[in-house]
Amino acid sequence: MSWETPSMCLNFVRNGDCHVTSDKCLLRERGELARNQDRECPLHGGFDVWLMQDDRILVSDLGFPSEEPKQCLALGINEQLATQIAQDKSRKSKTIIQTSQRKCLRCGRSYWYSLHEGAAGHVQIDKGYFCPDCVSTENGESLTDSLGRLGYWCG
């Protein structure tokens, strides 16, 4: 089973109202046909919000988390909306927010894995540890070639 961005809009329309904003759908009647990966709606994006078993909240751009979540709070939304949902839930439940944001080993800047071009599929070691700027400034042999690729195997 693939855990990529869902093919249906999970900011779905109920009787013409957006499930997320409780207001009219931004895409009007087109909203019922809009798919997340088409990114027609400004609410769509590559971020998910999960309530984990230990009650912490995870904002992630990596798809389904490695640990079993307790509840999905949002799928396939933009970063701003994901952050807002996580903060609201955190305030109500008095729990911490964790993210899949990473810190570059070269420059120390925080970045999201999804900022890398072609970030779908297996995590590449260079993209997992270095921000897009540091990966792209590498001359000659790419960091991917010199570090290899990290792959995951399901048994």
| pLDDT, tens digit (0-9, with 9 covering 90-100), for 13-47 | 456 667 677 777 888 777 777 777 778 888 888 89
Contact between 151 and 144 under an 8 Å Cβ cutoff? The reply is no
pLDDT bucket at 8, cuts 50 / 70 / 90: very low
| Separation CA 64–CA 25 (nearest Å) | 27
Is pLDDT larger for residue 56 or for residue 23?
A: 56
Domain boundaries, the chain: 13-99, 102-147
Q: What is the pLDDT of residue 32?
A: 73
Q: What is the pLDDT of residue 87?
A: 95
pLDDT tens for each residue of 68-103: 999 988 888 899 999 999 999 999 999 999 999 999
Helix or strand holding residue 133 (H, E): helix 132-136
Phi/psi zone of residue 148: left (φ > 0), alpha (ψ -120 to 50 degrees), beta? Answer: left
Is pLDDT larger for residue 109 or for residue 32?
A: 109
Q: Is the CA virtual torsion 124, 145, 153, 121 positive or negative? A: positive
| Separation CA 67–CA 149 (nearest Å) | 22
**Can you tell me the mean pLDDT for 107-120?**
84
Question: pTM of this prediction?
Answer: 0.73
User: 80-105 b/e with 16+ CB inside 10 Å = b?
Assistant: ebbbebbeebeeeeebeebbbebebe
Q: What is the pLDDT of residue 66?
A: 83
- Is residue 126 exposed (0-12), middle (13-18) or buried (19+ Cβ within 10 Å)? buried
119: which 2 tokens?
Answer: 């970030």
